[in-house]
Amino acid sequence: MSDLTDLYQAVILDHNKRPRNRGKPPTANRVATGDNPSCGDNCTVYLHLDAADRVDAIGFEGSGCAISQASTSLMTTQVKGKTAAEAEALFNDFKHIVTSGQPPEELSDLAAFAGVHAFPARIKCATLGWHAALEAFKQPPSA
């Protein structure tokens, strides 16, 4: 189990050090923001959907603790290529992982955040970017 814990920590450290999809993609036309005042985290998520309503571009900006930044970075890699319904299903899996500490049956990088369940105050940090992304799906596209 400790090997697995090391692996999970490596995923979080890696996303924190080298965030994926940072910045606003040039084609993005949907945006939503989220903030978590109890920790001081904030994030803005940008999306562009293709003709089939799948995310073909996603990016984020923001600042905050390592958990919030790593989780938002990982979220962008998971949500790319997904529809709103698929992203919501992924978020439900992720929420289950961070609130229960139970890794999913299928091994996934999302399980890296299972340890968060021991720190309930950090659950908001881990879900901040996901909430913003799901909100961005619901925004009308802007030119």
Q: Residues in the site for Zn ion, rule: CB under 5 A? A: 39, 41, 64-65, 68, 125
Q: Residue 43 or residue 57: which is nearer to Zn ion going by CB?
A: 43
Q: Quote the least distance from Cβ 125 to Zn ion, whole Å.
A: 3
Least distance to Zn ion, CB of residue 92, Å: 21
Nearer to Zn ion, 29 or 33 (CB): 33
Q: How far is the CB of 117 from Zn ion (least distance, A)?
A: 15
The tokens 């571009």 sit on which residue?
A: 57
> Cβ neighbours of residue 128 under 8 Å, at least 6 residues apart?
34, 35, 36, 41, 42, 43, 64, 68, 71, 72
CA distance to 32, 63, 114, per residue, from 36 (Å): 14, 11, 20
Burial class (CB within 10 angstroms; exposed 0-12, middle 13-18, buried 19+) of 103:
middle
Q: Which is nearer to Zn ion, 31 or 65 (CB)?
A: 65
Q: How far is the CB of 26 from Zn ion (least distance, A)?
A: 29
Cβ distance to Zn ion smaller for residue 39 or 56: 39
Which is closer to Zn ion, CB of 82 or CB of 122? 122
In the sheet that holds 30-36, the strands lie side by side as 30-36, 41-49, 55-63
Element (H, E) at 125: helix 123-138
Q: How far is the CB of 50 from Zn ion (least distance, A)?
A: 32
